[in-house]
Structure 1
Amino acid sequence: MSSNNLKNCGLGFAVLTTLCACSLNRTAARVTSGVIDRGLPAVFSQADTQYVKEALPANLQLMEILLKSDPDNGKMLVNTAQGFCGYALMFLEDENPGRASLFYAKGEAYALSALKGATAATAKKSDVPALFWRNFCRASYININRDKPEAIAELPALEPDLEKLLTLDPGYYYNGAQSLLGAYYSMRPRMFGGDPDKAIAYFKLALEGPG
């Protein structure tokens, strides 16, 4: 065999090996994604919050590593968004609002990637988890940055997404759309559409609904 043929064979083998490795990494990421999807609710339902506080960062890091191998994995993107937002809400808002803001922004970015361009006008029921966590992260970010005009300016963008969630799946995540609409109407100043009565009504629906 000539040296050129040997080089070509070597190159072909290297490419094949790389493709196989990428495929194996992606397969492993998807298998692990399913495990995390089933296990994440158990983490957040732990009665020992200190355990959750200590355990969750490693899980978040693992999910980010897996996304490097499978960046279009919608389920993993949504779980990562939920993880960052949940951790910020439970452990960072009171002690470190600046860091909580970073976690919320990161969570929103992952959820936005999971939406793959879907908007309030085009979202389908399969987009509900990503749409919900995108707006949960965004609403939470606005709530702890109400002293910043640029954060308050984002409020109107929430409403069409939340109304769409209410249409597609009002019971998702314990009537989450109603809870977010309650937060939305309570955060907005009255002169810009805020309505305490509407907020209370939506919070009641969230508590009493079937979700």
Structure 2
Amino acid sequence: MLAGVILAAPIFSGCSTDRLVARGASPLIERGVSAMNRETDTELARASIPATLKMLETLLLLDPGNVAYRTQAAMGFHGYALGFVEPTDPERARDLYRRARDHALVALEDAGVSRSTLNGDVATLERALAKLDARALPALFWTASAWGKWIELQLDDPARLAELPRVEALMGRVLALDESYYYGGAHLFFGAYYGGRAPMFGGDFARAARHFDRAAELNRNQLLWVDVYRARYLLRQAGERDAFHAALSRVVVAPDGADPELNLANALARQAAAALLAREEELF
């Protein structure tokens, strides 16, 4: 054992002790994320997730360039904001989405998209994105997801609206690389993107419907958020109240699916569906 440690020493001589400690926690973090995804008690999840997020940020203080931790932090802050904060405190959710985006941007820069490229003209950005392969999918997806939600909560700010083409370009690259990534999440994004606006403002209801249908097909109708987003963005905007009611009613009574990794996401989707149904009269 001692010999093994001595022989290993030159291999790790370029790594700081802090980074070694942080990276040693990786299996625990990965299993913790899986355990949280499998949780069915939303109140237990609500109470537990903040500690997990702070643990991730503590590890990132030790190892700031750890791309896996950056994407896990982005995913965690995005999910926490969406499932637990936005329904009652949109202003705080906005700040959490920005925090998620900032973590994801570090991973995106590591993948080869610099901040200057991201903030430059869209054509240059698209050329840079075209060079990325599937290894960049987590950084692309979570940057676009968090950035999109951050903008959604600031639609009265022209500066934020001007950023939408960049978000669209990022998620478009996800779609091109692997449309099935994260349960067809890029299709879910574009369903909301085209369904949540009137046609005169760039909305396209038929296109949105195709994206929602494809997302459902890719995840075999196991992700309940597809119907929640379809109702919240497309059916509400299109004034289809009966379809809105039917879609959300299906979600509320839907049983647990075959994929335990979707337990928490689907439990939160049921809550979101119930909340939208309670506002149906107001929304229509």
TM-score by length of 2: 0.63
- Determine if contact 1:139/1:184 at 8 Å carries over to the other structure: no
Matching residue of 1:94: 87
Matching residue of 2:212: 203
Considering Cα pairs closer than 8 Å and 6+ residues apart, tell me whether 1 or 2 has the greater RCO.
Answer: 2
Q: Structure 1 residue 161 and structure 2 residue 187: aligned?
A: no
Q: Describe how 1:1-211 pairs up with structure 2 within 5 A.
A: 23-116=16-109, 117-118=112-113, 119-210=128-219
4+ residue runs of structure 1 moved beyond 6 angstroms?
none
**Compared CA separation, residues 121 and 188, structure 1 to 2 (3 A):** farther
- Alignment-mate amino acid for residue 100 of structure 1: A
Unaligned runs of 5+ in 2: 1-11, 114-127, 221-284
* Residue 64 of structure 1: how far off its partner (Å): 0.6
* Residue 111 of structure 1: how far off its partner (Å): 0.4
Tell me whether 62-71 or 42-51 shows the greater mean CA deviation. Answer: 42-51
Q: Matched residue of 2:130: which SS?
A: coil
Distance 1:189 1:41 in 2: 38
Percentage of identical aligned residues: 39
* Residue 80 of structure 1: how far off its partner (Å): 0.4
* Residue 77 of structure 1: how far off its partner (Å): 0.3
- Alignment-mate amino acid for residue 51 of structure 2: A
TM-score by length of 1: 0.83
- How far does the alpha carbon of each residue in 1:39-76 deviate from its partner, in whole angstroms, 9 at most, with x for none? 21321331111111111111111111110111111100
* Residue 167 of structure 1: how far off its partner (Å): 1.3
CA RMSD of aligned residues (A): 2.0
Q: Matched residue of 2:39: which SS?
A: coil
**Compared CA separation, residues 34 and 115, structure 1 to 2 (3 A):** farther
Distance 2:27 2:145 in 1: 23
Q: Matched residue of 2:65: which SS?
A: coil
- Determine if contact 1:81/1:133 at 8 Å carries over to the other structure: yes
Distance 1:92 1:210 in 2: 26
* Residue 210 of structure 1: how far off its partner (Å): 4.9
- Determine if contact 1:155/1:184 at 8 Å carries over to the other structure: no
- Alignment-mate amino acid for residue 38 of structure 1: R
Q: Matched residue of 1:120: which SS?
A: helix
* Residue 142 of structure 1: how far off its partner (Å): 2.2
- Determine if contact 1:26/1:70 at 8 Å carries over to the other structure: yes
